Amino acid sequence: MRRAEHGIRMSDGDNGVDVKKSVLRMTGIATAVLLAGGALAACSSGGGDGDSGSKTLRVTLANHVWTDIIKKKLPEFKKKTGITVKVAQFGEDQLSDQYNVKLNAGSDDIDVMMYRPLQEGKLFAKNKYLADLTDDVKSDSSWDWKDFQPGPVGSTTYEDNVVGVPIITEQEVLYYRKDLLEKAGLEVPKTMDDLKAAAKKISEENPGIAGFVARTEKSAAVTQFSSFLYSYGGEWTDKKGKASIDTPEAKAAYKMYGGLIHDYGPKNVSTDMSWSEAMAIFTQGNAAFYPEADSLYQNATDQTKSKVADTVGFAPLPAGPAGSKPYNVPSWALGINDASSNKDNAWKFIQWATSKKMTLEIQKEGVPGARQSVWEDPAGTATYPKDLAQAIAVSTKNGVGHDRPLVIKVPEAREIVGQPIVEAITGGDSDAAADAANPKFQQLLDDEK
Amino acid sequence: MTVTVSKPNTAWTSYSDWANRHRKWLFAAPAMIIVGLLIIIPLAWTLYLSATDAEGSVRADHDFVGLANYLQVLTDTTRFWPAVGRTFYFTIGALVLELVFGMCIALLLWRPFRGERWVRVAILLPLVATPVAVGMMWRLIFDPNIGFANQLLGYVGIPPQPWLSGEATALPTLIFVDVWQWTPMVVLILLAGLTSLSDEPDEAARIDGASNWQRFWYVTLPLLRSTVIVAILLRSIDALKTFDILYATKGKGGGSFHEVETLNVYAYGLSFDYNDYGVASAVLIIFFLLIIAMMWLVTYRRKGKEQ
């Protein structure tokens, strides 16, 4: 009641102007103001592009050693082309959020984008966020597109169109502690059963030190678990494309990966560990074995970051019943935002950052690249620890080209296939969890058809 | 027509006439435009999305699906309803503890004492810390292997606890963190209320021989009721919407077992992780209605009592 009275009084005070009329006029004014605002905004952004489009390039990169090296070399690019590069840098999750918001809105304030082909590649390509680079990659024969390894190239190609250039590759290797193995009188494990026995012996003989540590958070663990899955003869999907995480092979792999952590892992193990937490346990000297991506090796060998820098060794992933089958994947690539108004310069930047010379220089600093010629060049692996270079060579030979299910909705799929891992880590029934996860994964596959 | 002769009809005067006649709209316009742009349009957009099957990209084609998303969400007993339960568990747990502790501290600080100003400043410190930094800090303290909390327990002979990493202990631990950070705000509000109280009713009760507890329960608390309700309103809205400390400590999805996944964390996951914009919008609209219903309950009950 009170509100109604108030309303009448207001219209009385309005010099007798009809309420309806004034509301209408108000709406008109509001619309006019909004339109004017929009027009102004459009003008300013249009003007900005006209002035600086050719000179300034906006590049969005992830936190990575690769990014640090590129940033140091940017003055060279500026000297060569006269283009100023503005780098925006984010952690993996924040980077995904940035892309989600900006690309969804069709924003053109990203020109070059660093993205994960296996995580977001299919989604971005399907949404037409990534510009078609098919003609660009063929335009310069000295830059040599054919030099890029076919596996990585496959994952940056969508429906026969090239949408990205792979920059960083990753293989899973086994990090281990030479001193602990020596003390226990053990050889480097060649098979999964050796690994289990060694982890058992070391954890029993050294109180406070875990025999084995690995990622435990269910999404983060999926990629490192994938090599266990392949080595046990399993796959995410069978040849007909049906979900196959409930096969005996997959169940055995779940049990091995999770069981190693449950039985010989750190006490009070949390199920929130991604690589940074697991790596911290290893580099603090609290674990003997740790399967992880080779691209992170400097965290373990850098004296300032690691207490075990002198005693860390690297070995190929131990063999399961199906042999040693680690993943060998392109973890990052560069693409061009389809909404960018500066595509020519964006391509110049990609061409510069992925040239043979740059790839070699970056690989020398410890970031594995995707160019075959660099791997064949002795200088390409000269700076690596010897055992790591050997382990990588084995991984690239037997490697499987994906470390997670090849679907569009990767984050959702990772949560589903990761559930049995967590179940095994916490000592639950991982077989039952795999049986429960399989139909859910199948549902997701069906939905994407 | 004669009017135009006596007053030069420039653009400015006609504008000023017009402005005079419409001053209430003119003055309110900036606020209304901002509310429209930042609240009403996004809300309407969310409402629209919640009735579509938008996924992957909001610019991609999507179809109108009516209430299908709502039906899917409301019948989902694996993620949605547990998230609702956790949201209320977290909110009510944090709110009750904050009110009890807040009231105790406010009563202690009410009467002047030596060093009062220093104590007040010290107590307010958690309030000014950034929630994400607070989350990171407690995450380190509560780390099951290298954290300070378990070391402290070790000194007194208690076995280490899983804290944030345990399926059952994660949410209570986060309630503790929320209480640590936000009790000072409740103290601040209650203290403001206490200071504005007149001493006379309390004095009268004391002369009548009322005990300390009786004076608090029958005199101070009823007088403070509206302040307490303000504190409840502000804190419960905030606690319902809590996202930062949950995300900073447990990441996406609220942990491997979704052990701290509240409605906000769930909606974030649906939208930013799964790119399921339709379903995410439906969850948010339901969440919005839940909050409105709760606020209405609190304010309605208050009005009912006053009349």
Residue length of chain A? 449
pLDDT for res B121: 86
Higher pLDDT, B135 or A27: B135
Q: Tell me, what's the ipTM?
A: 0.79
Q: Average pLDDT for residues B185-200, to the nearest whole number?
A: 91
Greatest mean pLDDT among A10-14, B20-24, B113-117 lies in: B20-24
d(CA A261, CA A316): 19
pLDDT for res A414: 95
* Distance set, CA A183 to CA A198, A246, A289, B45, B201 (Å): 11, 39, 14, 65, 78
d(CA A222, CA A253): 12
d(CA A431, CA A437): 10
Contact indicator for B60, B54 with CB cutoff of 8 Å: yes
* Distance set, CA A90 to CA A101, A114, A409 (Å): 14, 10, 22
Strand partners, A165: A334
Please tell me which residue of chain A has the smallest CA distance to B162. A268
* Distance set, CA A172 to CA A107, A402, B116 (Å): 36, 11, 59
Q: What angle do CA B125, B129, B134 make, to 5 degrees?
A: 115
Q: Is A35 on the interface with B (CB under 8 A)?
A: no
The shortest CB-CB distance from A100 to any of B162, B167, B272 is to B272
Contact indicator for A179, A240 with CB cutoff of 8 Å: no
A356: Cβ contacts below 8 Å, ≥ 6 apart: A143, A144, A147, A371, A373, A374
Please identify every stretch of chain A with a pLDDT value under 70, giving residue numbers as ranges: 1-54
For domain A170-327+400-447, the CATH superfamily is Periplasmic binding protein-like II (3.40.190.10)
Q: What is the CATH topology of the domain spanning A52-163+330-386? A: D-Maltodextrin-Binding Protein; domain 2 (3.40.190)
d(CA B274, CA B260): 18
Portion 193-222 of A in contact with B at CB < 8 A: 216-219
Higher pLDDT, A19 or B30: B30
Q: Which helix (H) or strand (E) holds A292?
A: strand A287-293
pLDDT for res A374: 92
Would you state the structure tokens that stand for residue B166, as one six-digit string? 């345990």
pLDDT in tens, B263-273: 999 999 999 88
Q: Is B258 on the interface with A (CB under 8 A)?
A: no
How many other C-beta atoms are found inside a 10 Å radius of the C-beta of residue A280? 18
Phi-psi region of B275 (alpha: psi -120 to 50; beta: other; left: phi over 0): left
Q: Please state the three-class secondary structure of B234-262 as a single string.
A: HHHHHHHCCCHHHHHHHCHHHCCCCCCCC
- Comparing A288-297, B7-16, B199-208, which segment has the lowest mean pLDDT? B7-16
Give the position of tokens 């209650």: B190
Provide the pLDDT confidence category of residue B247 given band limits of 50, 70 and 90: very high
pLDDT for res B159: 87
Would you state the structure tokens that stand for residue A42, as one six-digit string? 């459009």
d(CA A47, CA A29): 26
Question: Does the pLDDT of residue B234 top 70, yes or no?
Answer: yes
Phi-psi region of B244 (alpha: psi -120 to 50; beta: other; left: phi over 0): alpha
Domain edges within chain A: 52-163+330-386, 170-327+400-447
Please tell me which residue of chain A has the smallest CA distance to B143. A270
| Bridge pairing between strands A210-212 and A165-177 | unpaired
Decide whether A52-163+330-386 matches A170-327+400-447 in CATH topology.
yes
Cβ contacts of B256 on chain A, cutoff 8 Å: 216-218, 271-272, 418, 422
Question: Is A129 in Cβ contact with B275 (below 8 Å)?
Answer: no
Q: What is the pTM of this model?
A: 0.82
Amino acid identity, residue B128? V
The shortest CB-CB distance from A271 to any of B58, B256, B275 is to B256
Amino acid identity, residue B32? M
Q: Average pLDDT for residues B140-153, to the nearest whole number?
A: 87
pLDDT for res A38: 40
pLDDT for res B305: 59
Q: What domains does chain B contain, in order, with CATH numbers?
A: 2-69 (no CATH), 76-306 (1.10.3720.10)
Report the gap between the CA of B31 and the closest CA in chain A (Å). 12
Question: Is B32 in Cβ contact with A30 (below 8 Å)?
Answer: yes
d(CA A399, CA A401): 6
Torsion of CA A414, A415, A419, A420, to 10 degrees: -10
Please classify residue A30 by burial: count the beta carbons closer than 10 Å to its beta carbon, then call 0-12 exposed, 13-18 middle and 19+ buried: middle
Contact indicator for A405, A441 with CB cutoff of 8 Å: yes
Question: Is A272 in Cβ contact with B165 (below 8 Å)?
Answer: yes
Portion 117-146 of A in contact with B at CB < 8 A: 123, 126-129
Contacts A–B by Cβ distance under 8 A: 92
Question: Is A10 in Cβ contact with B256 (below 8 Å)?
Answer: no
Q: What angle do CA A157, A163, A165 make, to 5 degrees?
A: 90
Contact indicator for A251, A413 with CB cutoff of 8 Å: no
Report the gap between the CA of B167 and the closest CA in chain A (Å). 9
Identify which of B224, B155, B236 has the alpha carbon closest to the alpha carbon of residue B196. B224
Q: Please state the three-class secondary structure of B64-94 as a single string.
A: ECCCHHHHHHHCCCCCHHHHHHHHHHHHHHH
Provide the pLDDT confidence category of residue B51 given band limits of 50, 70 and 90: very high
Reduced to 3 states, what is the DSSP secondary structure of residue A5?
helix
